[in-house]
Structure 1
Amino acid sequence: MFTPSQHDVRRFFCETYRKVEAGEILTPLEAIARDWIVQHPEYAGDLASVDEALAADYSVERGRSNPFLHLSMHLSIAEQISIDQPPGIRAAFLGLAQRLGSEHNAQHEMMECLGEMIWQSQRSGLPPDGASYVECVRKR
């Protein structure tokens, strides 16, 4: 399993942003990341400098959302949808996107469910409950 560090993730998104700005060829994963970066122009300043990104503090106390976490969640959810894992997540996403009229907004709603599932798993010490995650998305 690939487990990138916080710095690896920040470097990945900054490098993808740099390549997009320079018009360079992207890897398939970078192309998916680009699609989400483009939909979040408010993060351009956070992605423009690797050194600043590595030093940035997005702790709750600072009152600022973490653009790297947000973009990572978009990537994770896109992958889940593409392989329908956990089973049923693709159909739940499509239903939510249709109800909201936006795939992007549907992903933002899914982030709440994904965060809840991860929090419950960490709190209980049990594996993530994919079925409850899918059900949460369906209920949105």
Structure 2
Amino acid sequence: MEHDVDRDVYLGDLPSGVSEDEVERILDRRVFAMPHRGTVIGGEEFDRLDPADPDERSLLIQGEHPEFQQYLADSTWQGEIDGMNPRFHLTMHEVIANQLWADEPPEVWRAAKRLREQGMARHDVLHELARVMAEHMRPTLTRGEPFDEDSYRGALADL
């Protein structure tokens, strides 16, 4: 698969000796996780962010959600927009992007590829993956139960 991206940015952490086929698979996954290097947040342009850096990837994710930016700029704002907490929403995007970037667990990327192959748009795929993650995080967040990774992996396999 051809990608018109700075390969060093997306692949700079790979050890030598990785096959070209594996490099292309990793590149496809990471570009899917974060295809952009630039964004605009609050009118400020960020044109050369590093998607390999989790903090900069977070900014890129925020830039993908301009509808939330005015609320996020106010650190005291609490609330929901259309029944959704913007901070939680972006956190879920970050969790999924980080899982995709690291390929851990690999079921996240497998599910993403299946949904993408069914014609689902990238952002919708990320929302579906985040929905599954949020469902499996709920017992941890609300009752302090340990995260059930096996159940999470199974739910991803079922997507």
TM-score, L = length of structure 2 = 0.59
Question: Is the CA contact 2:111–2:156 (under 8 Å) kept in the aligned structure 1?
Answer: yes
How far, CA to CA, are the matches of 1:66 and 1:122 in structure 2?
A: 15
Question: Is the CA contact 1:92–1:137 (under 8 Å) kept in the aligned structure 2?
Answer: yes
Question: Which string of whole-angstrom CA distances, capped at 9 and with x for unpartnered residues, describes residues 44-87 of structure 1?
Answer: 3223x3xxx2211126xx87422121111111111111222224
Asked whether 1:96 is paired with 2:120, we answer no
How far, CA to CA, are the matches of 2:144 and 2:48 in structure 1?
A: 42
Identity %: 25
Structure 1 unaligned residues grouped into runs of 5+: 1-15
Aligned partner of 1:66 among 68, 75, 85: 85
Aligned partner of 1:86 among 100, 105, 114: 105
Which amino acid is 1:85 matched to? E
Name the structure where helix makes up a greater proportion of residues. 1
Paired residue total: 118
Runs of 4+ in structure 1 off by over 6 angstroms are none
TM-score, L = length of structure 1 = 0.65
* TM-fit CA distance, 1:122: 4.6
RMSD value, Cα: 2.9
Question: Is the CA contact 1:88–1:134 (under 8 Å) kept in the aligned structure 2?
Answer: yes
Q: Higher relative contact order at CA 8 Å, sep ≥6: structure 1 or structure 2? A: 1
Q: Which residue of 2 aligns with 1:9?
A: none
Question: Is the CA contact 1:82–1:90 (under 8 Å) kept in the aligned structure 2?
Answer: no
Q: Which residue of 2 aligns with 1:21?
A: 44
Structure 2 unaligned residues grouped into runs of 5+: 1-39
| CA gap 1:105/1:24 in 2 versus in 1, 3 angstroms | closer
Question: Is the CA contact 1:36–1:71 (under 8 Å) kept in the aligned structure 2?
Answer: yes
Q: Secondary structure at the residue paired with 2:105? A: coil
| CA gap 1:102/1:25 in 2 versus in 1, 3 angstroms | closer
Q: Which residue of 2 aligns with 1:33?
A: 58
Question: Which string of whole-angstrom CA distances, capped at 9 and with x for unpartnered residues, describes residues 3-34 of structure 1?
Answer: xxxxxxxxxxxxx935x714476463343223
